[in-house]
Structure 1
Amino acid sequence: MEDIQNTQHPDPSLINILLVFNPKTNKIEAVKTIDDKGDLKTVPNTKKNQNQFLKIDKQGDLFSNFFSNFLSQLKNPTLFNFFKSPLKESENIGKQIQHHLTHPSTEGEEFLNTYKILTPNTNTMSTNPLSEKEYQYSADQIDWNMMSKFGLTQEKLEKANALDPMLKGFKTNGLVPVTINLGTALTRMDARLSLNTNDAGDVVINIHGIRKEPNFNFKFLGHEFTAEDKKNLKENGNMGRVVELINPKTDEIIPSVISRDRLTNELVAYKVENIKIPEEIKGIKLNEEQKQTLIEGKALYLEGMISTKGEPFNAHVQFNADKKYVEFLFDHKERQQQSHSETSRTFRGKDLSDEQYEKFKGGQTIYLDGLLDKKGQPYQGYITLNQETGKVDFSFQNPNKAGEQAKPTEGHKTQTAVNSEGKTNEATKNLKEPLQKGQQTPKDKNQQAKQDKPQSRTRKRGV
């Protein structure tokens, strides 16, 4: 159509594309255009088709205005589920969306809501307000000079799809690599990030580091955990009841619910008065009794909900203090049975070929190349499906030929330990840039000079 056309943009980093779940093929495809009859035209979501993708400026207002216009020209827009994705990562993100639609889970629900675009009269995968909430902060309010001291830049956060939820007042959906440089000490860690306003009115960053487990030995804002509280928080992440907490600054008593951040094990409280319960969840209208159950922090079982794929399903729902919305609690046993019956064809974003998949399902060890660590550097390794647990075992060495394969894969083990786990390799400990594929030592004279330069003892962990 005249208003919906595929225009060229000079900077790919500023471009989003539209992905759509095609109910006829049950696949995620890339939107190409809308024809004169209002029918949606799509192409397979692959790099070779990128020149045909419908491309849109990713800036908030421009995207919103474009999408509203797009829907107005589309015949039967409520039949489709749309997702937006950066052009550069569209193929990988599309594969992950496809995987999470095929294998529903609580974690997958969060991933889908990061990219899903809300359309009129359509149900979301959850009650997550992230995609529709207004921005609380702007990128201009952030002290990027201070952020650089943590190894963070606006470009890095945007590329990781981490900045948008922060600007809306949420934590990042996933863990972000952070470097804390104290001059005489350098610490690398993975953490979730959020923004806050201090007493002076400045926007500051909160770093939510990973804890081994929640600390139940001390009171939490005046609340002493019961055995049942601890059990609930450990097993599903939500305590399941309202308790009175004490504001440490004002001594005010605040009725609240408590949840555990499943990524960091941090305990998070949320005021009951701020809880918002939706009128409808996946096609099921809630009555007042059901709403009250959720406000009280309890789990509620709903039957006959309709998934994004248009299929009916049943699940428990419960308000999560960390996420600030009502989430689905998919039964762990059901997920485990599903993983046994339908093994994923994708591992860490890489698709298995038909031959690899058949061998993998049969319990054979498969070699994979072209995997990417957290710094975007390639590595390789071996995967085996554990027939008893349904989980995937990964190894840098072929477990069937450990001694024979040790040498060629040792470099990849070092690379991922440094790039993804924040550990230190003595031979490259003074280098700031990520290690490249299989790298264990300085790659050239320039890196060797940096490595040889005297440095204070900094890092604590070793490979």
Structure 2
Amino acid sequence: MSTENTQRQVEHDVLLVNDKTKNKIQVVKGLDKDGKLETVPATKKNQNQFLKVDRNGDFFSNFFSNFFSQLKNPTQFTFFRVPELLTIKMANQMQKELNQSGPTHELFLKHQVSDVGKEQKKENKVAEPTKEECLYNSNKFDIKDIDWDSLSRLGLSKEKLQEMDLLDPLLKGYKTKDLVAVNLDLGSAVFSLDARLSLQKNADGKVVMALEGVKKYPNLNVPLYGHEFSKQDKHNLLKTGNMGRVVELTHPTTKEKIPSVVSVDRLTNNLVVTRVEKMQLPKEVKGIILSEEQLQTLKEGKPLLVEGMTSAKGNLFNAEIQYNAAKGHIEFLFDNTNKQSQAQSQTSNQSQLSDNLKTFRGKELTDKEQAELLEGKSVYIKDLIDKRGNPYQGYVTYNKETKKADFSFQNPIKEEQSKTQSKSEKQTDEPKKSKGRKI
């Protein structure tokens, strides 16, 4: 127990940075003597060069304020604060989000560090910013307007939300990316549920916490703002999560007819609506400039097949994209993607498989490990990191038919061999038992 506490006390955070001129996520190494930013790629071999800072909030705020004040061309960069153990994994995920060219990057919003010191330099002031001013400026909601006493009845506190890295995205006006366990204390009864959280203003203008509970299935048998779902609507929502067309929904108060698209929140199975006029669509996706006709297809809520896109690894691929109201941006529908031509050679297929196996859950695989997976062997992988930042290890196998990697804490190949051997020994024993029997 004492060892675990000691490890937690020395945990650090690492600074990631996006250079807006290059759209490249890298790890901050430090500043040179001229105040220019030094960075290194987010790879395992560079870990000893990562700039690490104490996780304590006050220390970090003061550190970043001083760091930012010494940086040349600060508006060129966007900084992100991530746990040390998750640095490589989160850098890769952020780069993927950046390459998608969507308007909303969830990891960016969750881990972005505000430009501390920007206003001080502008006005030549030397006043020390508070921790809240450092980390929670430019938000949709003010942290001072939150009724923390009321939230305590939900088992939530400012400290708990900060610890779970949820407070910053909530203040920016976004729902939590994952479900959060909430305990609702009504005095005479206590309820526990998993829900997505978001901050909203009620009719009196008071900031309240909205809880979006989980449903077993989306409710498609009841009209949504006056719209009755057709058989095709239900099919599309259950298959892709998007209805696939624009419908006019009736505003409950003004009775105004509002052209909208509808999607299913895959975490909660609740229906989410976005006005067509509020849809944000990218003009470029993975290196392909979208035509006005293609943008119109997306604006109508329909799926759009885009060919010749370039992945982060430099591979060409085709995929359908569609606007998702629950996410607030387009998403890739890989299940509906047209299959690549069967004329591809076996060599190119092997290369493609090898590319897909370069990483597993953020862990870079060696050439030997990739080769063994393609040969059908199980590979023991260490230093994997779960969602809570805890390390774990186990066996990875690769299915060439489904092109998917599977994980198991036990060696699945040895287990199968053991079962086969046991079955064989049982069959071998049966004739011995019947030896000498008269027929």
For normalisation by structure 1, the TM-score amounts to: 0.60
Does the 8 A contact of 1:18 with 1:84 survive in 2? yes
Q: Paired residue for 1:323, among 319, 324, 327?
A: 327
Question: Which residue is equivalent to 2:302?
Answer: 298
1:97 aligns with 2:91: yes
CA distance in 1, matches of 2:413, 2:314: 43
After TM superposition, the structure 1 = structure 2 runs for residues 59-138 of structure 1, keeping only pairs within 5 Å, are: 70=71, 72=73, 84-86=80-82, 89-98=83-92, 101=95, 110=105, 113-114=108-109, 135-138=139-142
Question: Which residue is equivalent to 1:385?
Answer: 398
The one-character-per-residue Cα deviations of 1:314-368 (angstroms, maximum 9, x if unpaired) are 65444322223x3142533669989845344555555556665554444334455
Shift of 1:212: 2.9
Shift of 1:37: 9.5
CA distance in 1, matches of 2:309, 2:271: 30
1:261 aligns with 2:259: no
Question: Which residue is equivalent to 2:31?
Answer: 33
CA distance in 2, matches of 1:39, 1:163: 29
CA distance in 2, matches of 1:188, 1:16: 35
Does the 8 A contact of 2:178 with 2:196 survive in 1? yes
After TM superposition, the structure 1 = structure 2 runs for residues 30-429 of structure 1, keeping only pairs within 5 Å, are: 30-34=28-32, 36=34, 40-42=38-40, 48-51=48-51, 70=71, 72=73, 84-86=80-82, 89-98=83-92, 101=95, 110=105, 113-114=108-109, 135-181=139-185, 188-277=192-281, 289-302=293-306, 315-324=319-328, 326-332=329-335, 340-344=353-357, 346-349=359-362, 358-367=371-380, 381-400=394-413
Relative to structure 1, the CA distance from residue 155 to residue 106 in structure 2 (aligned partners, 3 Å threshold; closer, same or farther) is: farther
CA distance in 2, matches of 1:364, 1:166: 45
Shift of 1:199: 1.6
Question: Which residue is equivalent to 2:424?
Answer: none
Q: Partner of 2:73: helix, strand, or coil?
A: helix
RMSD: 5.1
Does the 8 A contact of 2:380 with 2:395 survive in 1? yes
The one-character-per-residue Cα deviations of 1:392-412 (angstroms, maximum 9, x if unpaired) are 434444445669x9xxxxxxx
Shift of 1:267: 0.8
Shift of 1:170: 1.7
> In the alignment, residue 17 of structure 1 is paired with which amino acid?
L
Relative to structure 1, the CA distance from residue 190 to residue 385 in structure 2 (aligned partners, 3 Å threshold; closer, same or farther) is: farther
Question: Which residue is equivalent to 2:344?
Answer: none
> In the alignment, residue 389 of structure 1 is paired with which amino acid?
T
The more displaced of 387-396 and 11-20 is 11-20
Relative to structure 1, the CA distance from residue 36 to residue 175 in structure 2 (aligned partners, 3 Å threshold; closer, same or farther) is: same
Structure 2, unaligned runs of 5 or more:
1-8, 114-136, 341-348, 419-439
Structure 1, unaligned runs of 5 or more:
1-10, 119-132, 406-463
**Identity within the alignment, %:** 40
Relative to structure 1, the CA distance from residue 15 to residue 398 in structure 2 (aligned partners, 3 Å threshold; closer, same or farther) is: closer
Question: Which residue is equivalent to 1:445?
Answer: none
Shift of 1:179: 3.8
CA distance in 2, matches of 1:166, 1:195: 6
CA distance in 1, matches of 2:19, 2:59: 20
Number of residue pairs matched by the alignment: 371
The one-character-per-residue Cα deviations of 1:31-87 (angstroms, maximum 9, x if unpaired) are 42256495744376666444578999999999799769846279xx6xxx966233x
> In the alignment, residue 95 of structure 1 is paired with which amino acid?
K
Q: Partner of 2:149: helix, strand, or coil?
A: helix
CA distance in 2, matches of 1:97, 1:335: 30
Q: Partner of 1:298: helix, strand, or coil?
A: coil
CA distance in 2, matches of 1:330, 1:35: 48
Shift of 1:258: 0.7
Relative to structure 1, the CA distance from residue 165 to residue 251 in structure 2 (aligned partners, 3 Å threshold; closer, same or farther) is: same
Does the 8 A contact of 2:35 with 2:70 survive in 1? no
The one-character-per-residue Cα deviations of 1:186-242 (angstroms, maximum 9, x if unpaired) are 655543221111122221222223333312222222211122222322333222222
Relative to structure 1, the CA distance from residue 35 to residue 390 in structure 2 (aligned partners, 3 Å threshold; closer, same or farther) is: farther
Does the 8 A contact of 2:376 with 2:397 survive in 1? yes
Q: Which entry has the higher C-alpha Rg, 1 or 2?
A: 2
Relative to structure 1, the CA distance from residue 21 to residue 156 in structure 2 (aligned partners, 3 Å threshold; closer, same or farther) is: farther
